[in-house]
């Protein structure tokens, strides 16, 4: 380890100077040790190698001094050669130990990152939809990246640094005091000249690093939002590309300016350290040489002291910042644990059952529901707000009840915001009711296993999501074991087979972010194909044709004929002409059922449904209907 590397390490340690200085709780330490336990053997070996490395750091200068003494005294050639060979051997051993340290450090660090990322990602996957509606994606991703890596440093940097620096410092001081305590004491008097500028410069650099990180985060957010297809479209529609470039350029310029200032500050710091080290060396050589001339020291001792001095200041500085470094790592752990401690609002019961085989009846019985408050599903740090909104949500469903018999198609209609989509989200347990029950085949969905519920209920929303992946993988997300014959079969049913065959790579064609390489109608038909592949017994359509033109809607409606055949179906429709042939229509207003019946019955009743139908379709002479014969849908 040379002086330059020591200085860089000291600078890095000093840059943590503004981190919090609080004591970690026993519970945090216990949980940190829990994550470390699987790597304990590697950690022990790593620490032992760190001790060996620190010992070798001190041994080489001592042997170099003996070589000098042997030369001056005219010692035997074989002794000088033997010492040189021993130094070479120690150098080889040091290199091997360094490689071993690096290997173990990588295994421990990457293993810890893997464990933490798996834990956080798996936990987040179990969170309810309400969590994702409130959380900023960038803040959550940061926990999986920056904080996990910060926690990993506790083992691969801070822990090993404390051990190796402490051993090196004790051995170096011990040897130096044994060789010449006056020179050692004088050298230590220069320590404040070394440490204080390091801490001050470190604080300045840390402030610049944080400012640069803030600007980089803002640039990342801007890029993420503007580089998505909807974001890029919005920028172009409002004619703001030049403004966006100017705003991004201003932030980038600020980061560049900080980079220049940081580089100069680092160079000034390292130059100052070099000067301090030079002064210390001058002291050793001057005082040590004077003592050697007077016969109070051996010449080799002066050389040993000079070499050991280069290994003294950096460990002292690093140890002075060790607690701060450790606290920075603990803070990262606590930020990770903060996510892991957020209990999922929806959980599977320890003893859960499955939906019985055969056709499924769907029932909502006196359902009341209010969206959960922020403190139940989110974290202030993930929403990037000072405090969470603690107010409870207002009840949006008020004692709502209706039933869908096996194989029936029931439509939900009503004014926007009346609670239709909320009802749809309760059936697959995206949310749980506050009171009452949602039942499948007479079993409360809260008593079902997640696997059985997901296998029974399929849902297509008005904005069906597709991943930035191939057609094949987007379909197989519903059934990973599906073969190509099954994929082509559902594509035929969804009226998409010809389109997929015409794509450059067929099933291997990458669809782009959110499937934007396809039209709106094509995306919806692909989500219907995915639903068909899943083969659910209960199908929920939440305004699946809401944003489509007439041609696309006709194609999607045609695909829905196969999707709904023989299945229990709940359809939410804003175009009332699409549900004329439904077995029953339930009218929802302000979270309550205000009417139920067939299309004809409700028109005759002259209530809210008749009002909606008259207002929306008084001039419509060619309505289509979900579940109608294909000739009528063409």
- Bigger pLDDT: 24 or 152? 152
Per-residue confidence (pLDDT) for residue 353, from 0 to 100:
93
Confidence of residue 285 (pLDDT cuts 50, 70, 90): confident
- Bigger pLDDT: 585 or 519? 585
Helix (H) or strand (E) holding 588: strand 584-589
SS3 content of the chain, % helix, strand, coil (to 5): 65, 10, 25
3-state secondary structure of 42: helix
Confidence of residue 280 (pLDDT cuts 50, 70, 90): confident
Contact 6, 314 (CB under 8 A): yes
Task: Please name every residue paired with 585 in a beta bridge, in sequence order, or none if there are none.
Answer: 411, 597
Q: For 30-76, how does the pLDDT look when each residue is reduced to its tens digit (9 = 90+)?
A: 777 787 788 888 888 888 888 888 888 888 888 888 888 778 777 67
CA distance 532 to 570: 16
Which residue from 36, 42, 43, 41 is spatially nearest to 115, judged by alpha carbons?
A: 36
Per-residue confidence (pLDDT) for residue 270, from 0 to 100:
66
Q: For 486-517, how does the pLDDT look when each residue is reduced to its tens digit (9 = 90+)?
A: 999 888 888 888 888 988 888 888 887 777 77
CA distance 229 to 235: 10
In the chain, where does the domain assigned CATH 3.40.50.300 lie?
400-432+447-633
Mean pLDDT of all residues in the chain? 78
Dihedrals phi, psi of 518, to nearest 5 degrees: -105, 160
In the chain, where does the domain assigned CATH 1.20.1560.10 lie?
3-14+21-340
Confidence of residue 633 (pLDDT cuts 50, 70, 90): very low
Please give the CATH topology (third level) of the domain spanning 400-432+447-633: Rossmann fold (3.40.50)
Q: For 209-234, how does the pLDDT look when each residue is reduced to its tens digit (9 = 90+)?
A: 667 766 776 677 677 667 766 677 67
The CATH number of domain 3-14+21-340, selected from 3.30.413.10, 1.20.1560.10, 2.102.10.10, 3.30.1390.10: 1.20.1560.10
Confidence of residue 328 (pLDDT cuts 50, 70, 90): low
Q: Is the pLDDT of residue 4 over 50?
A: no
- Bigger pLDDT: 171 or 230? 171
Mean pLDDT calculated for residue range 402-428: 89
Helix (H) or strand (E) holding 413: strand 409-413
Contact 376, 536 (CB under 8 A): no
């Amino acid at each position: 380890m040379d002086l330059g590397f020591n200085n860089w390490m000291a600078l890095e340690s000093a840059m943590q100077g503004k981190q919090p200085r609080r004591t970690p709780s026993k519970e945090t330490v216990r949980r940190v040790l829990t994550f470390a336990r699987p790597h304990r053997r590697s950690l022990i070996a790593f620490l032992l190698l760190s001790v060996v490395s620190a010992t070798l750091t001190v041994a080489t200068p001592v042997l170099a001094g003996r070589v000098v003494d042997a030369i001056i005294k005219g010692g035997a050639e074989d002794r000088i050669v033997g010492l040189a060979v021993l130094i070479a051997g120690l150098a080889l051993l040091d290199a091997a130990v360094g490689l071993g340290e690096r290997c173990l450090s990588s295994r421990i660090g990457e293993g810890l990152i893997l464990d933490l990322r798996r834990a956080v990602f798996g936990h987040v996957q179990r969170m309810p939809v309400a969590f994702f509606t409130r959380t900023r994606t960038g803040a959550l991703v940061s926990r999986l990246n920056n904080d996990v890596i910060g926690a990993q440093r506790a083992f691969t940097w801070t822990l090993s640094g404390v051990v190796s620096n402490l051993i090196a410092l004790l051995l170096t001081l011990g040897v130096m005091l044994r060789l010449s305590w006056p020179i050692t004491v004088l050298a230590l008097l220069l320590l404040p000249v070394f440490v204080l500028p390091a801490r001050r410069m470190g604080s300045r650099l840390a402030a610049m690093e944080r400012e640069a990180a803030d600007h980089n985060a803002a640039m990342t957010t801007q890029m993420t939002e503007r580089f998505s297809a909807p974001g890029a479209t919005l920028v172009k529609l409002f004619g703001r590309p030049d403004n966006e470039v100017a705003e991004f350029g201003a932030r980038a310029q600020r980061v560049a300016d900080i980079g220049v200032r940081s580089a100069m500050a680092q160079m000034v710091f390292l130059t100052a350290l070099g000067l301090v080290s030079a002064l210390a060396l001058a002291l050793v050589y001057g005082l040590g040489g004077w003592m050697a001339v007077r016969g109070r020291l051996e010449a080799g001792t002066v050389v040993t002291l000079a070499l050991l001095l280069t290994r003294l200041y950096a460990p002292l500085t690093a140890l002075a910042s060790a607690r701060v470094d450790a606290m920075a790592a603990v803070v990262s752990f606590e930020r990770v644990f903060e996510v892991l401690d957020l209990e999922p609002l929806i959980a599977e019961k320890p003893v859960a059952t499955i939906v019985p085989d055969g056709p499924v009846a769907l029932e909502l019985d006196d359902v009341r529901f209010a969206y959960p408050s922020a403190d139940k599903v989110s974290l202030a740090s993930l929403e990037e707000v000072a405090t969470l909104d603690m107010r409870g949500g207002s009840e949006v469903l008020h004692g709502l009840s209706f039933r869908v018999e096996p194989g029936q198609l029931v439509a939900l209609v009503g004014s926007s915001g009346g609670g239709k989509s909320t009802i749809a989200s309760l059936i697959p347990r995206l949310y749980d009711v506050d009171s009452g029950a949602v039942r499948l085949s007479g079993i409360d969905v809260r008593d079902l296993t997640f696997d059985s519920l997901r296998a029974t209920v399929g849902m297509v929303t008005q904005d069906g999501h597709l991943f930035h992946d191939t057609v094949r993988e987007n379909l197989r997300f519903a059934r990973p074991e599906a073969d190509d014959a099954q994929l082509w079969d559902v594509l035929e049913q969804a009226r998409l087979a010809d389109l997929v065959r015409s794509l450059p790579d067929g099933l291997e064609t990458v669809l782009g972010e959110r499937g934007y390489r396809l039209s709106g109608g094509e995306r919806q038909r692909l989500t219907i194909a995915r639903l068909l592949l899943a083969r659910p017994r209960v199908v929920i359509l939440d305004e699946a044709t809401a944003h489509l033109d007439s041609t696309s809607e006709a194609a999607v409606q045609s695909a829905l004929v196969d999707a709904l055949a023989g299945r229990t179906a709940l359809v939410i429709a804003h175009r009332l002409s699409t549900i004329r042939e439904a077995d029953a229509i339930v009218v929802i207003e302000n979270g309550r059922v205000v009417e139920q019946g067939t299309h004809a019955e409700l028109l005759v009743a002259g209530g809210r449904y008749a009002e909606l139908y008259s207002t929306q379709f008084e001039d419509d002479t060619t309505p289509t209907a979900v579940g109608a014969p294909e000739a009528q849908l063409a």
